[in-house]
Amino acid sequence: MSNQNSFRELTIILCLILLSSVISGCSTPRELNYVALGDSIPDGWGIGGYGEEHVNYVECFAEHLRKDFDIDIAVQNFCDSSGIRTVHLIEKLQKDDELRQAVADADIITVWIGVNELGTPPNLYMAGMCGGEDNLEFVRERVHEFNNNIDNILDEILALNSSEETQIMIADNVIPAAFAVNWKKQGSFEVLQAELYEALNDHLYQAARERNITVVPVYRAINGPSGDKGNEGLYQDDGIHFNVEGHRLIADIHREAWEWAQTLNQPGT
């Protein structure tokens, strides 16, 4: 009888230890890995006060997830201010071992790219140097090249991380305030908006939809419903890079897009 009691006690102790382990595991959510890819915009070029203020939109978005959804986030920001273009990001995704591993392990991935290669076509158009009967040949060539590069970027990311649980988000293309002001002065805004930015964003939404990737709708939020709002108050003096207020707005839009994507991914939706 004594041996039976001892066995019973041992069994109860083991069960309690196992139950404690399960409860402990459930009450401590694992840390999510957030990887940011892109150019000088998500890198936070020209703004200070990183630390506690989280003025960079990448850090701001991560802070939203920590505070609003009680999610533990580890951020790896691979964005840089060296003039990176879409072709450079493709190369990094193919050859940078550290970045590739981070993308493979990521739970959240955001992409912002384009500002360094979308300034030349409008300038050539306004100078009458784009070629073709309507002076738009080079603009259309650049749109075609950019769209192909976006497809390749999304495919490279998915080749590294195709988990259905990973949230991949890419921002659509915003017309910087400096561009908008200049185009309007030259009477070229409507043409360049339609032939360049609207064409790019139309393709981006289609490419993202085909790959089940979330588009972060910063274009309408910043440029307005008609796309012609400069919103100069969101930018630094160069009219291209965002100030602290601009970064916080972009982070808010990312938060809303992330929450919307989570709703869509719920069972039964």
Kindly report, residue by residue over 186-245, the tens digit of the pLDDT.
Answer: 999 999 999 999 999 999 999 999 999 999 999 999 999 888 888 889 999 999 999 999
- Dist CA 35 CA 190 (whole Å): 35
241 in the same domain as 170: yes
> Phi and psi dihedrals of 51, rounded to 5?
15, -120
Q: Which pLDDT score is estimated for 47? A: 85
5 in the same domain as 48: no
Q: Which pLDDT score is estimated for 51? A: 46
* CATH code assigned at 238: 3.40.50.1110
| 166 within a domain of the structure (yes/no) | yes
Is residue 156 scored above 60 in pLDDT? Answer: yes
Domain housing 147: 31-264
Of the candidates 200, 173, 180, the residue with the CA atom closest to the CA atom of residue 122 = 180
234 in the same domain as 134: yes
98 in the same domain as 155: yes
- Dist CA 144 CA 259 (whole Å): 32
The strand order across the sheet containing 214-216 reads: 73-77, 32-38, 108-112, 167-171, 214-216
Is residue 53 scored above 80 in pLDDT? Answer: no
Is residue 251 scored above 50 in pLDDT? Answer: yes
180 in the same domain as 65: yes
Beta bridge partners of 76: 35
> Phi and psi dihedrals of 75, rounded to 5?
-100, 130
180 in the same domain as 59: yes
Helix or strand run (H / E) with residue 171: strand 167-171
State mean pLDDT over 72-84.
94
Residue 75 three-state SS: strand
137 in the same domain as 73: yes
127 in the same domain as 93: yes
| 236 within a domain of the structure (yes/no) | yes
109 in the same domain as 24: no
Take residue 160 and report the two structure tokens written for it.
């590294």
Reported confidence tier of residue 88, pLDDT bands at 50, 70, 90: very high
pTM for this entry: 0.86
Q: Which pLDDT score is estimated for 48? A: 66
Name the amino acid, one letter, at 15: C
140 in the same domain as 54: yes
> Phi and psi dihedrals of 133, rounded to 5?
-65, -30
| 269 within a domain of the structure (yes/no) | no
Is residue 265 scored above 80 in pLDDT? Answer: no
Q: Which pLDDT score is estimated for 92? A: 98
| 89 within a domain of the structure (yes/no) | yes
Beta bridge partners of 34: 75, 108
Question: How deeply is 143 buried, as exposed, middle or buried, from its count of CB atoms within 10 A (0-12, 13-18, 19+)?
Answer: buried
Is residue 20 scored above 70 in pLDDT? Answer: no
Reported confidence tier of residue 4, pLDDT bands at 50, 70, 90: low
Q: Which pLDDT score is estimated for 191? A: 97
Q: Which pLDDT score is estimated for 22? A: 44
| 184 within a domain of the structure (yes/no) | yes
15 or 156: which leads in pLDDT: 156
- Dist CA 173 CA 151 (whole Å): 15
Contact between residue 254 and residue 216 where contact means Cβ atoms under 8 Å apart: yes
* CA end-to-end span of the chain: 57
| 122 within a domain of the structure (yes/no) | yes
What total of structural domains would you count in the chain? 2
48 in the same domain as 12: no
* Cβ-based neighbour number of residue 129 at 10 Å: 10
Q: Which pLDDT score is estimated for 216? A: 98
114 in the same domain as 12: no
Least trusted range by pLDDT, from 6-20, 115-129, 225-239: 6-20
Q: Which pLDDT score is estimated for 237? A: 94
Reported confidence tier of residue 3, pLDDT bands at 50, 70, 90: low
